[in-house]
Chains A and B, each alone.
Chain A
């Protein structure tokens, strides 16, 4: 139960970070309109995709580094 709770917290934390970072990187014109522009929408999609990719890269490198240093 505690482990599941911890995992949920990690997921929420990750989502909050992505939200904050992609907001900073993608919502550049604030705020001419109440709709997301096409550019902002596409940016958000790519932002999330790249974040996860960075996540994978970092995980892989970290694992290899830890292995090599044991």
Chain B
């Protein structure tokens, strides 16, 4: 019954889902990062604006976490590939 739609509909739908998912993932990463850097950098509430130390910390935090995210991403891809390879071998 699903085949009435044909492969191209499924492809399109998949594409759409992937885009929506990427948006969601990006938003999640962004909000996590903000919370993380706030938690790690901000503790002075004698003022309602960030002081110099907090500003510098926030900048470094953002960059550092982005780099960590990249590094983890690379290792994650490698390990995932290994895992799938092992699973494929076991299925044989």
Residues of A within 8 A of B (CB): 1, 4-5, 8-9, 11-12, 15-16, 18-20, 22-23, 26-27, 30-36, 40-41, 44-45, 47-49, 51-52, 55-56
Contacts and interface: CB of A to CB of B under 8 A. Distances in A.
A1 B40 CA distance: 40
Interface size class of B (residues with CB under 8 A): 20 to 34
B57 A31 contact: yes
Contacts of B72: 15, 18-19, 22, 44, 47-48
Nearest to A12: B25
A43 to B, nearest CB: 10
Contacts, number: 81
A42 to B, nearest CB: 10
A34 B60 contact: yes
Task: Label chain A's interface by main secondary structure.
Answer: helix
Contact of B79 (A1, A16, A48): A48
Most interface-central of A11, A30, A31, A55 (chain B CB within 10 A): A31
18 contacts: A5-B17, A8-B18, A15-B76, A18-B76, A20-B32, A27-B64, A31-B41, A31-B57, A34-B59, A35-B64, A36-B64, A36-B68, A36-B71, A44-B71, A44-B75, A49-B75, A51-B79, A52-B80
B42 interface: no
Contacts of A34: 59-60, 63-64
A63 B73 CA distance: 28
